[in-house]
Amino acid sequence: MTLAFVCIKWGEAYPAEDVNILYQGVADHVSEPFRFICLTDRPDGLRPEVEVADLPGTGALALRWRGCWPKLGMFAPGLLAGVDLAIYLDLDIVILRSLDPIIAHVRARPGLHVLREWNPNIWELLPVSMRPDRGAQSSMVAWRPGEQDHLYLDVMADPEAAYALVKNDQLYIGIKAHERHYFPPHFAVSFRRHLVPHYPLNLLFKRIRKPSRAAIVVFHGAPKPLEVAEDKAGAWGTPRRPGFGPVDWVRDYWKRGREGAREALARKAATEADQSRQISS
């Protein structure tokens, strides 16, 4: 079964470095062969292991950007030809542990798997089954290509009907996917909701601890991983959940990703130089 990880880098919102770091995070935490596919209009600077495909070739760019509707282009028929299992990951995540349990979980149950949107912290006192269902959270989505084509085709056929139904791509995925399942909550946590204390507790608990169980940390909203990964990091976050300075485990992840990308790009440059010399001789 061919496994592929998918990401989207469109326009100038995210640099190539973010894709390269995500690739390294996947490579370090998956024990089986995989493809890594980036849907992008700017492939420059990507490490050689990253395959590229064109999102507007699916027509997805005709959709409204507000609400991330073009993201539904990843479900377009034929886009992921030859892939038996696809796992989409947002670029602003950090991978801390093996993804093998996530892969095994998805393979064991047909349908589309997606994160469940997190509730405000007060609801954490209750079991997940008793918390209000706020819909899907699409920072991680897994599906078998060909089984969810309608998520793209139906929206392209009548986008205004989709916009009138829900406000964004992830809510649409959550209510329209065939056999939608939420990932177990311990697979991924929210950086700002689960790891950053509210003010004024953050004055007492300044160190952001690495989660003890989650494989993935999602940076949705503020801050983004780079804001807490740099040695020179200053103030970050929101007024209710502010922080200051680098977070050591995010910094280590970012450093590892950068080093891996430099090595891969250097190997690519050396190979191209050798090929050029052979041709000229």
Question: Do 9 and 40 touch, CB atoms closer than 8 A?
Answer: yes
Handedness of CA 82, 86, 89, 94 (dihedral sign): negative
- The SS3 assignment for 142 reads strand
* Ramachandran bin of 146, using left for φ above 0, alpha for ψ from -120 to 50, beta for the remaining angles: left
Question: Residue 265's pLDDT is what?
Answer: 95
What is the DSSP code (8-state) at residue 194?
I
Domains in the chain (CATH in brackets) are 3-280 (3.90.550.10)
Question: Residue 204's pLDDT is what?
Answer: 65
Least confident of 35-49, 55-69, 165-179: 55-69
Q: Checking DSSP bridges between strand 3-9 and strand 35-40, what pairing results, if any? A: parallel
181 pLDDT higher than 80:
yes
Question: Residue 126's pLDDT is what?
Answer: 78
pLDDT digits (tens, 9 = 90+) for 74-132: 999 999 999 999 999 999 999 999 999 999 999 999 999 999 999 887 777 778 888 88
Give the residue, 206 or 3, on which the prediction is more confident.
Answer: 3
What is the DSSP code (8-state) at residue 92?
S
Q: Which residues are CB-contacts of 152 (< 8 A; sequence separation ≥ 6)?
A: 58, 60, 72, 73, 74, 75, 76, 77
Which residues are bridge partners to 53 per DSSP? 39
**What is the pLDDT of the chain when averaged over all its residues?**
94
Question: Do 213 and 224 touch, CB atoms closer than 8 A?
Answer: no
pTM equals: 0.95
Query: CA-to-CA distance for 96 and 98, rounded, in angstroms?
Result: 7
Rg (C-alpha) for the chain, rounded Å, is: 20
pLDDT digits (tens, 9 = 90+) for 229-243: 999 999 999 988 989
